[in-house]
């Protein structure tokens, strides 16, 4: 004879391990992973501090996004301790997790005991729709999307690299995008700078970029700097509180200046450069990996540094490289994956080849081998006399 | 015979070649063999004292020769040397 639901629940509870809220409270922060198996609306009204959310209906498909370690200590809870009991049985008997407990009495008993409840900031209905494909990814989810919305990313240049990067970061919901660029949109930009449009030729690039970004995603706050980055303004701009800087600069002196300032302030830089059919990409995370000066202790001489004047570039190449930059930015914000730290990725479009090179920290690096607070204003951006040969190179 | 990958800025000096095969037992020998084939590359690679210019990065396969043995680093058959220039286009 089939069991009644009450009999089934009793049977299930006899087969799993239950834990009292007072014990769970002591376990918080001790390596136990607390999982809330209630529905999204219930979770949004408040949950145990630090709890991860996997609705019971998605348990089997999403639990590995929380942990795939079968020996991990998992504590499940729901409203009253029944759904979490069923969920615990599933994890143990169907998926082979060995150390799973269900919290007696659920969050109701937890609250009755007067323990802390964390009320999450929630996405609006419009945001849940807009970012739904992110929310479906365990690596992003509502928590990751909130990190993206909270992130502040500074883009140096709204040109070839900055255009696609800005558009995709805006689409991804990065909440604050700063843009430094003192140029106006030129017709010759439109072969690759996809954030600008024909009817905005002559408009300052920061204004043109803002129009496109906000048309794409009104969630994004655009901070505009219609100036040329130099030693007199870089510290003021960087001290806004940027989490990440995206380097799409078109000249060497400013790249060295940026490196020195970001090492001093310990801000990671996602750096790319392009020429012709070739692109380079790296993440410079101060004190975690090498800096730009570890990779390039000295800039090349003018004849080998064709960045000063106008040079040819395949229009789609900055799209490729800019989107690789945007990908690294999103990974850094989410804290997911393996960032391109200590590695340099080369892309050669004609041969369709990627090459990865190792980049080591230089123990004698004039900048990042030292304590950041010891880097003085005078030392930042120290560079051979470039103005002269850029002028010579035309 | 090692393969030397030539970056875009040096290709005018190698007649447009993207890869050049060159003989040599170590990095210095291979690069000097490259310079013998394409003399214009010599001053771009080497300083007057015969050392690598500091602005030239050379990788044996995926490792910077500066952290290996520099120009004395041994090169085997089938190894690839990558000459890497800094680029600043954006």
Distance of alpha carbon A88 from alpha carbon A34, whole angstroms: 12
Best residue in A161, A254, A275, A343 to probe B by mutation, most B CBs within 10 Å? A275
pLDDT category at A388 given cuts 50, 70, 90 is low
User: Which architecture does CATH list for B2-84?
Assistant: Roll (3.10)
**Bridge partners, A254 (sequence order):** none
Q: How would you write the pLDDT of chain B (90 residues) with one tens digit per residue?
A: 899 999 888 999 999 999 999 999 999 999 999 999 999 999 989 998 989 988 889 999 999 999 999 999 999 989 999 999 888 776
Q: Which residue of A has its CA nearest to B5?
A: A355
Judge: B59–A157 Cβ closer than 8 Å, yes or no: no
Taking an 8 Å cut-off on Cβ atoms, the answer to whether B88 and A249 are in contact is: yes
Chain B residues whose CB is inside 8 A of the A318 CB are 90
B19–A contact, CB cutoff 8 A: no
Of the candidates B38, B84, B44, B77, which has an alpha carbon nearest to the alpha carbon of residue B62? B84
CB spacing of B90 vs A159 below 8 angstroms: yes
In the prediction, which pLDDT does A306 show? 65
Q: How many angstroms away from the CA of A124 is the closest CA of chain B?
A: 36
Residue A269 has pLDDT above 50, yes or no: yes
Give this prediction's pTM: 0.78
A51-99 tens-digit pLDDT: 999 999 999 999 999 999 999 999 999 999 999 999 999 999 999 999 9
pLDDT band with cut points at 50, 70 and 90 for residue A187: very high
Model confidence over B75-85: pLDDT tens digits? 998 999 999 98
∠ at Cα B48 (B43, B53), nearest 5°? 60
Question: Nearest C-alpha of chain B: how many angstroms from A273?
Answer: 5
Average pLDDT of chain A to the nearest whole number: 92
User: Hey, are the CB atoms on B55 and A247 less than 8 Å from each other?
Assistant: no
CB contact under 8 A, B63 and A276: no
CB contact under 8 A, A360 and B67: yes
- Superfamily of domain covering A151-393: NAD(P)-binding Rossmann-like Domain (3.40.50.720)
How confident is the model at residue B4, as a pLDDT? 97
Write out the residue limits of the CATH 3.40.250.10 domain(s) in chain A: 5-120
Residues of chain A with CATH 3.40.50.720: 151-393
Q: pLDDT over 90 for what percent of chain A?
A: 83
What number does CATH give the domain A5-120? Answer: 3.40.250.10
A286-296 residue pLDDT tens:
999 999 999 99
Percent of chain A at pLDDT > 70 equals: 96
ipTM above 0.95, yes or no: no
A371: closest CA of chain B, how far (Å): 23
């Amino acid at each position: 004879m089939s069991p009644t639901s009450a009999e089934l629940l009793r049977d299930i509870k006899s087969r799993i391990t239950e834990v009292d809220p007072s014990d769970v409270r002591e376990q918080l922060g001790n390596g136990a992973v607390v999982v809330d198996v209630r529905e999204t609306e219930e979770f949004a009204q408040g949950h145990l501090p630090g709890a991860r959310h996997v609705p019971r209906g998605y348990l089997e498909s999403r639990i590995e996004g929380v942990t795939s370690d079968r020996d991990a200590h998992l504590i499940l809870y729901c409203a009253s301790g029944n759904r979490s009991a069923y969920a615990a049985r599933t994890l143990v008997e169907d998926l082979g997790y060995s150390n799973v407990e269900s919290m007696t009495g659920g969050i109701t008993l937890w609250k009755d005991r007067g323990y802390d409840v964390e009320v999450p900031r929630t996405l609006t209905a419009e945001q849940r729709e807009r970012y739904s494909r992110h929310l479906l990814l365990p690596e992003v989810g509502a928590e990751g999307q909130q990190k993206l919305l909270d992130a502040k990313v500074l883009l140096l240049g709204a040109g070839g690299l900055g255009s696609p990067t800005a558009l995709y970061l805006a689409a991804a919901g990065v909440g604050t995008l700063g843009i430094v660029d003192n140029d106006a949109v030129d017709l010759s930009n439109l072969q690759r700078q996809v954030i600008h449009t024909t009817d905005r030729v002559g408009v300052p690039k920061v204004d043109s970029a803002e129009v496109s970004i906000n048309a794409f995603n009104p969630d994004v706050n655009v901070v505009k700097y219609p100036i040329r980055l130099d030693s007199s303004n870089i510290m003021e701009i960087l001290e806004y509180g940027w989490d990440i800087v995206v380097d799409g600069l078109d000249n060497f002196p400013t790249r060295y200046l940026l490196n020195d300032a970001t090492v001093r302030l310990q801000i990671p830089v996602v750096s790319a450069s392009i020429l012709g059919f070739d692109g380079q990409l790296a993440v410079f995370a101060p004190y975690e990996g090498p800096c730009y000066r570890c990779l390039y202790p000295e800039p090349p001489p003018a004849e080998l540094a064709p960045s000063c004047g106008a040079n040819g570039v395949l229009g789609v190449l900055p799209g490729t490289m800019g989107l690789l930059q945007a990908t690294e930015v999103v990974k850094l914000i989410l804290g997911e994956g393996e960032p391109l730290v200590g590695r340099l990725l080369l892309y050669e479009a004609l041969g369709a080849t990627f090459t990865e090179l190792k980049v080591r920290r230089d123990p004698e690096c004039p900048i990042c081998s030292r304590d950041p607070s010891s880097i003085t204003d005078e030392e930042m951006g120290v560079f051979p006399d470039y103005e002269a040969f850029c002028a010579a190179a035309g | 015979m090692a393969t030397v990958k030539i970056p875009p800025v040096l290709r005018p000096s190698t007649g447009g070649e993207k890869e050049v095969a060159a003989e040599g037992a170590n990095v210095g020998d291979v690069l000097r063999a490259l310079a013998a084939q394409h003399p214009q590359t010599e001053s771009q690679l080497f300083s007057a004292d015969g050392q690598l210019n500091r602005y030239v990065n050379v990788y044996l396969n995926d490792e910077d020769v500066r952290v290996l043995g520099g120009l004395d680093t041994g090169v085997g058959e089938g190894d690839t040397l990558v000459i890497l220039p800094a680029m600043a286009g954006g």
